[in-house]
Amino acid sequence: MIVYRIAPQWQVGLEQVEEALGKAVFMECGATQERSAGFVPPRGEQHGPLVESVGGQWVLRFMVEAKVLPGSVLARKVQEKAERIEQETGRKPGKKESKELKDEAKLDLLPMAFTKQGSMWVWIDCAARTLVLDTSSQARADEVVSSLVELLPPGFAVALLNTQTSPQAAMSHWLAAQEPPVGFTVDRECELKSADEEKAVVRYARHPLDIEEVQAHIAAGKLPTKLALTWDDRVSFMLTEGLQLKKIAFLDTVFEGSKADDGGFDTDVAIATGELSKLLPDLVEALGGEADSGIATAAAAVAGSPATSTVTGPATAPVDTDPDSAPF
């Protein structure tokens, strides 16, 4: 999960967002189309709304479809075309011609290729001015944010949520001092990585972390890159050095008082957004409070050119391994 702060100048209604997203409705790939992306109805209903409001929380769903074309299959097809030219003309294709053969081979194979779909949940909390994306891939997040900036009414600009204390520094302190922040507990999983050239990594899974061995690793210069935490005995998650939340799980206390048949889209969204909207401010406070991201200045500067307003992060974040889990 990646969290952004939305510029305070952006004030729109649900109908405006629905109209804007209508310009980028997801369509399946055509016969010779490699990739397609767009927004789909969050409830899964055909021709349903592209943005749903549950308890004042807006939920969207971004869908991507791509043709799966193995490199070995493409290479074999190109080789066949090249051999045919050599037999007919007595010469081997040049560099430019080889590129054209590859394009031809791709067009020949795409109609027969398998397709793969993946989706991402998008949550907009207008009151808290947060945009939350259900992914850990910065590259995928960038695509969604760029689409929103291009589509939504002028003034929509975002910046990655930033804190006064970096997650890595905070996690180091919590482990070294064995003092988790108020409202949180340290669980039994973490990853420590050396900052030197060797890049040594130590991982603990299902193992107590309040031990001298962990403190010794930190004293030796290893820094936490992941740490499992639980908030208020209600939500467990993995905090990363890039302020991403992974492996989010809602614990039994969240569902106390709920009926066995309670469920469905509205209930799932209400639970997820209700818990996370309380967790995020507590996490920011545990990290020393929010740092100035300059998002207000950025929004004012790009009022006339929304495509350049996005402030994102590094493109080296890990790939989202479970894009279809929902919501959040």
b/e string for 196-230 if b means 16 or more Cβ within 10 A?
eeeeeeeebeeeebeeeebeebbeeebbbbbbbbb
pLDDT at 90: 84
**Inter-CA distances, 261 with 249, 257, 327, Å:** 20, 12, 18
Clarify whether residues 154 and 217 are in a common domain: no
Backbone angles phi, psi at 141, to 5 degrees: -65, -40
Amino acid found at 221: G
Count CB atoms within 10 A of the CB of residue 299: 22
**Among candidate residues 48, 81, 112, the one where a domain is terminated:** 112
- Pairing label, strands 235-240, 57-68: unpaired
pLDDT at 313: 36
Backbone angles phi, psi at 180, to 5 degrees: -70, 160
Clarify whether residues 80 and 213 are in a common domain: no
Clarify whether residues 195 and 251 are in a common domain: yes
Assigned domain for 325 exists: no
pLDDT at 328: 53
Assigned domain for 317 exists: no
Clarify whether residues 179 and 135 are in a common domain: no
- Find, among 46, 61, 52, the residue nearest to 270 by Cα: 52
Assigned domain for 318 exists: no
- Find, among 153, 146, 160, the residue nearest to 304 by Cα: 153
Clarify whether residues 36 and 127 are in a common domain: yes
pLDDT at 7: 93
Number of domains in the chain: 3
- Find, among 6, 283, 8, the residue nearest to 163 by Cα: 283
Clarify whether residues 102 and 123 are in a common domain: no
Q: Contact at 8 Å (CB) between 21 and 62? A: no
Clarify whether residues 132 and 62 are in a common domain: yes
Count CB atoms within 10 A of the CB of residue 193: 19
* Helices vs. strands in the chain: H and E counts, helices first: 8, 12
Clarify whether residues 156 and 187 are in a common domain: no
Clarify whether residues 152 and 90 are in a common domain: no
Quick one: three-class SS letters along 16-63? HHHHHHHHHECCCCCCCCCEEEEEECCCCCCCCCCCEEECCEEEEEEE
Biggest CA-to-CA distance, the chain: 79
Clarify whether residues 13 and 147 are in a common domain: yes
Assigned domain for 298 exists: yes
Clarify whether residues 153 and 20 are in a common domain: yes
Q: Contact at 8 Å (CB) between 149 and 13? A: no
Assigned domain for 328 exists: no
39 vs 63: CA distance, rounded Å: 6
315 vs 59: CA distance, rounded Å: 25
Assigned domain for 319 exists: no
Helix (H, G, I), strand (E, B) or coil at 163: strand
pLDDT at 262: 61
Clarify whether residues 14 and 148 are in a common domain: yes
Total residue count of the chain as it appears in this document:
328
Assigned domain for 176 exists: yes
Q: Contact at 8 Å (CB) between 310 and 146? A: yes
248 vs 250: CA distance, rounded Å: 7
Show the domain range for 186.
167-286
Assigned domain for 320 exists: no
Count CB atoms within 10 A of the CB of residue 118: 16
Q: pLDDT tens per residue, the chain (328 residues)?
A: 999 999 998 999 999 999 999 999 999 999 989 999 999 999 998 889 999 999 999 999 999 999 988 889 989 988 888 888 888 888 888 888 888 888 888 898 888 889 999 999 999 999 999 999 999 999 999 999 999 999 998 889 999 999 999 999 999 999 999 999 999 999 999 999 998 877 889 999 999 998 999 999 999 999 999 999 999 999 999 999 999 999 999 999 998 877 655 668 999 999 999 999 999 999 999 999 999 877 755 545 544 444 333 443 333 333 344 444 445 5
58 vs 122: CA distance, rounded Å: 8
Amino acid found at 241: E
